[in-house]
Amino acid sequence: MAASSLSITDDLEAQLTCAICNDIFTDPRTLLPCLHTFCFNCIKRWNEACEKECKRLRCPTCRVVVNIEGGDISKLPSSFQSNSLLQLYKKCIAKSHSSHDKVKTEKSAEDAKKLIREDIDRLNELIAEYRKELELSDENMSRIQSETDTEKAKVRNNTRSLMKILQDHENASIAILDKNLVEQRSSNKDEKNEINAHIQQVTELKNQCEKIMSEKDFGSEDFDNLQVICKAILQNKSISSTKPVKRNSSLCYKPNPEGIPFMENLKFGEVVESVTDPSRCSIECLRETINTALIKNG
């Protein structure tokens, strides 16, 4: 059907081609008496060329002298047959173009579908890559969780060791203070017992003196003995214990002034992050890698 339409179009083109411009007629006019047809503008220019040479208008095809009514070239009759054929030719051309456009459109659609299928394949590859990254991300998170738990245990163990050192220091210092307190209490008890014994001795001597004083008659011998005892006791100015408590001494805890600043500035340990695989540092690296692959494939 398309070949038949093309053959008719070719035949029409042959019949509707102007012999002067070799193009399809535009406003076809028929020459008399030969009935050859030409474009109006073409035959008009042909006539003007003849007039310049002072020649009569002749048919460009058969060289027959053309009759022009009143010498006015515009009065050449229109070719009814050529105009009818022109209408038919235009319809054939339109139909041919329509068929051609349809084929072209179908081919373009098929080409577009092919490109879309290729894009879908690349998108599926991209989705697969992202899903693989999801799996790797989950694995990485599990690894980080496990490492974090392990390192937390290390931190706690290290802290407990440091706290044990401080606790041992505290216990040792408190033990020294408690020991000194016990010793002081024991010495204080002995001192008080000794002082009480002196008080009792002096009290008894005083009572004897008062008793002698209350008697009307007392012998000189008793007086002499009592006076010797009183003199001996009064001459002993110190009434302190033979094992006195350290009254003029004090016990205190003196912390090392550099200890706390040293502990504050001392690095017991620190959390250090290390990169095991630099190529997998971030999702941006993944995007860049995939985009590069897509550009190469595209």
Digitized pLDDT (tens) for each residue of the chain, 298 residues in all: 444 455 677 778 888 899 999 998 989 999 888 889 999 999 999 998 988 888 888 999 999 998 887 778 888 888 888 888 888 888 877 776 555 555 566 777 788 888 888 888 988 998 999 999 999 999 999 999 998 999 899 889 888 888 888 888 889 888 888 888 888 888 888 888 888 887 887 888 778 777 776 666 656 666 677 677 777 777 665 555 555 556 666 778 788 887 777 777 777 677 777 766 655 555 555 566 556 655 555 5
For residues 60, 62, 67, 68, the Cα torsion angle rounded to the nearest 10 degrees is -20
d(CA 59, CA 81): 19
Tell me what pLDDT residue 3 has.
Answer: 46
Structure tokens at 102: 């349809």
**Strand pairing class (37-39; 28-30):** antiparallel
Structure tokens at 231: 């003199």
